[in-house]
A and B are shown apart, each in its own frame.
Chain A
Amino acid sequence: MSLFILGAYCLFAQANKINFTEYDLPNGLHVILHEDHSTPIVAVSVLYHVGSKNEKPDRTGFAHFFEHLLFEGSENIARGEFDDYIQEAGGTNNANTSWDRTFYYEVLPSNQLGLGLWLESERMLHAKVEQVGIETQRQVVKEERRQRVDNQPYGSVLEESMKRAFRNHPYKWPIIGYMDHLDAAQEQDYKQFYADYYVPNNATLSIAGDINIEEAKSLVNKYFSGIPKRQEPYRPKIVEPELGGEVRDTIFDNVQLPAVIQTYRIPAQGTPDYYAVTMLSQLLSQGESSRLHKALVDQQQKALFVGNFPLSMEDPGVSIAFGICNAGVDPKDMEASMDAEVQRVQNELIGETEFQKLRNQVENDFITTNSTVQGIAESLANYHTYFGEANLINTEIERYMKVTREDIQRVAKKYLTKDNRVVLYYLPKPKTP
């Protein structure tokens, strides 16, 4: 086995390097260009550094709701035509919203780069939202919430956990928002939100694919340089105090099997401890040989499913351990086994072979992430926005490789503690006659 390990280690730098050019327009828009001619397509994306954490506490869900509205049209694009242009060109498009940012993209045949830039610049310069669009999307988003959260077994797990794990920080409310806030949003709210956050100095335009850098630069200049710079948007600087003791609660839901959810507070993405926590959660849950899976699913057969997943968040966030009991298993019993696996990491340094497995998994995942042009465009924009260093797309793996076995043990002791967690039991609703 040892030769095999050595081989794996020496070869890790083989992944293809991603070359890119980046610069700022005078209006503050950050531009990143990656040229790759392997397929005749191009991904055009704009990342706005605004997510649910920028929302007002009485307007939760707004960033995501607003994302829906930005497909409505602009001064030059009639309602509903935004998607038509892309479909007619044979492209695809979508957007998504997180706690920290909103991301829009189109993937087009490469001869349609101009179209993608025109559409995104229209969206940034003078998006137009009519009342009928607002009312329609308000309902659509409420249906999205029902479909994803309210009507899904365990669909509210994240929402219920986050609202107990944070008392001050806006991470305490769900990205999709609360129904009454979605109902309350008014036209004035949209105008303000657009003016505050959809500004070039709060955005990254990231383009990847079959482009010529000089041509792309000149098109970017044509469509985006005339968009005026505006003031710096509001960024919450809320430091969440320590949890200060375990929080336990029970949720009765439309589920058949009880579940246990342990939410641990962890450091922000990009910090050295975050990488160690990520590898710790791999140790616990990535693959069938991972510790939680092997112990709880395979050997003890207490869980139908179990895992521990850190969330990537700009401010200090959480890692969530989630276990669903096998039929007939007491959740207390399952929780005790989950805790035992954590204690094992805390008490015993992990072995070399198991540690090397984690490093190999990191490498595999790192290489796989960059398999599409839209994935590359998004990674470049993320790295720039969060860390001011787009080149992490090539080098972030080194940060993982700095993590030692001792680090993994140390972060297990530091963060996976009782006082630092919220524990929820999801139990079947009692049958009412």
Chain B
Amino acid sequence: MKKIFFLKTMALLLFAQWAVAQNDFRKAAPKPGPAPKIELGKAEQFTLKNGLKVIVVENHKLPRVSFQLFVDVPPSVEGDLTGTAELAGQLLNKGTTTRTKAQIDETVDFMGASLSTSETGVRGSCLSRYQDKLLEVMADVLLNPTFPVEEFDKSKKQAVSALAQAKDDPNAIAENVASAINFGKNHPYGEVVTEKTLEKITVEKCKEFYQTNFKPNISYLIITGDISIVDAKKIAPKYFGEWKQGEVKKGKFDTPQKPAATQIDFVDKAGAVQSVINVTYPIELKNGAEDAIKASVMNTILGSYFGSRLNQNLREKHAYTYGSRSVLSPDPVIGFFNANASVRNEVTDSAIVQFLAELNRIRSAEVPADELNMVKNVMTEAISPARWKTLPRWPVLHSTPPASTCLLTITLTT
């Protein structure tokens, strides 16, 4: 039906190609202009008398402001009460000494604002004209939560349903298995919430978690957006200055050991049309360690940008997957390495062969200079303005794995 149209278009197309052949500027990429100057927003850091550290980054492009109150709770083993901290965090905004859950929700929603709580604190954002109103609620849920029993029961019920839902999510399964294997079930990072542990948790245990851990001297208030540093200096003590400090004890647990040999773990998932493959391994690597930057560059080459070796190999060359990537996550306690992809069932083995080949290659052969250069550009971009939103989030510092990182655990969902 469209044949005639098509011939006409082809003729035009040919003509176009002839026409532009005269234009040599098309042959090669244009040269960049002089590098633009980067001007960072005003930022400042100060500490309140109670030990709360405050970090402010000004950005006035939009009339919005974000607050994050981060409590750096030290990890501890929860054992048969695993999930207590998570539940406690969820309960913070479910009732205070002066506000019911419904009142909190209505106040926040009325401003079109957002507020969420977790075991590591409280986050909120709003139009800047509402900042005091939002901070009032934020401070209230942080300082005066009452952990109402009926809300506790509800949250528990929700958690049981969420567990059921996760049982059919291949990524959730893989994540649980990977952390249990990497860190061990007796380590804070390897513990998994189950129906059994949920059953045992009480509202008193949630309160206890809150009372022993939520202290200003291990916390940070991070403010970004349409606010002046002068204002921030007034606001921080006004809303969080009364928060009482206290000693927070660190939990005790053993450092996870490397697997002795490559270990393969299968989870059989009936009806799945893809295998979720994770090649993972615990690493001892802290932010700021000597190897940190080098290890991060290594991981980017391997699997953390579109042109990375894993993605090029498993997606662009072999078409086994929609995407493959690796993560190298440093941590003050224990970090991990994880390379992963979802692949169609019938190429599961072939995909693993390619994972292993790439891991061996990066260990044994020198990285070519042009590849290294490319990755350095990619990474400097990652911390440069091209990634900035006009409302910056607090930057997450990436950490590093030892250069000796190699793969030892394979988790498959078949």
Contacts and interface: CB of A to CB of B under 8 A. Distances in A.
A143 interface: yes
Contacts of B391: 371
B388 interface: yes
A256 B9 contact: no
A298 B102 CA distance: 9
A298 to B, nearest CB: 7
Interface footprint category on A: 35 or more
Contact of B386 (A91, A363, A365): A91
B86 interface: no
B164 A364 contact: no
A361 B130 CA distance: 13
Contacts of A367: 62-64, 127
A88 B27 contact: no
A24 B249 CA distance: 66
A252 to B, nearest CB: 10
A228 B63 contact: no
Contacts of B16: 125-126, 226-228
Interface stretch (B67-75, B206-214, B231-239, B317-325): B317-325
Interface stretch (B49-57, B152-160, B356-364): B152-160
A126 B170 contact: no
Interface string B2-33: 10011011101101110110010111111111
Contacts of A298: 101-102, 154
B252 interface: no
A327 to B, nearest CB: 5
A339 interface: no
A136 B312 CA distance: 11
Contacts of A371: 61-62, 64, 389-391
A39 B270 CA distance: 50
B374 interface: yes
A265 B191 CA distance: 46
Contacts of B385: 39-41, 109
A91 B32 CA distance: 12
B353 interface: no
Contacts of A360: 110-112
A217 to B, nearest CB: 16
Contacts of B283: none
Given A87-B306, A139-B319, A256-B168, A151 B272 contact: yes
A234 B170 CA distance: 41
A50 to B, nearest CB: 15
Contacts of A195: 6, 9-10, 13
Given A140-B319, A368-B62, A324 B165 contact: yes
Contacts of A150: 273-274
Contacts of B33: 111-114
A364 B319 contact: no
Interface stretch (A286-294, A383-391, A394-402): A286-294
Given A143-B320, A289-B109, A89 B377 contact: yes
Contacts of B105: 287-289, 294
B384 interface: yes
Interface string B142-171: 000000000000100110111011011110
Nearest to A108: B386
Interface string B359-390: 00000000000000110011011001111111
B112 A125 contact: no
Given A139-B319, A143-B321, A153 B168 contact: yes
B374 A88 contact: yes
B179 interface: no
A171 B318 CA distance: 32
Interface stretch (B35-43, B215-223, B399-407): B35-43
A326 B27 CA distance: 60
Interface string A99-143: 000000001111111110011011001100000000111111111
B112 A363 contact: yes
A160 interface: no
List the 9 shortest-distance A-B pairs measured between CB atoms, nearest first.
A364-B112, A40-B36, A139-B319, A90-B381, A114-B30, A287-B109, A111-B33, A288-B105, A289-B105
Interface of B: 2, 5-6, 8-10, 12-13, 15-17, 19-20, 23, 25-38, 61-64, 101-102, 105-106, 108-113, 126-127, 129, 154, 157-158, 160-162, 164-165, 167-170, 270-274, 305-307, 315-317, 319-322, 342-344, 373-374, 377-378, 380-381, 384-391
25 contacts: A15-B63, A38-B61, A40-B38, A84-B307, A92-B381, A109-B386, A113-B33, A115-B32, A125-B16, A126-B13, A139-B319, A140-B316, A143-B319, A143-B320, A144-B322, A146-B342, A147-B274, A151-B273, A226-B19, A289-B108, A294-B102, A298-B102, A301-B154, A353-B110, A429-B271
Given A254-B271, A290-B109, A371-B389, 14 more contacts: A76-B26, A84-B307, A90-B386, A109-B385, A115-B30, A122-B26, A140-B316, A143-B274, A228-B19, A301-B157, A304-B162, A364-B113, A364-B127, A367-B127
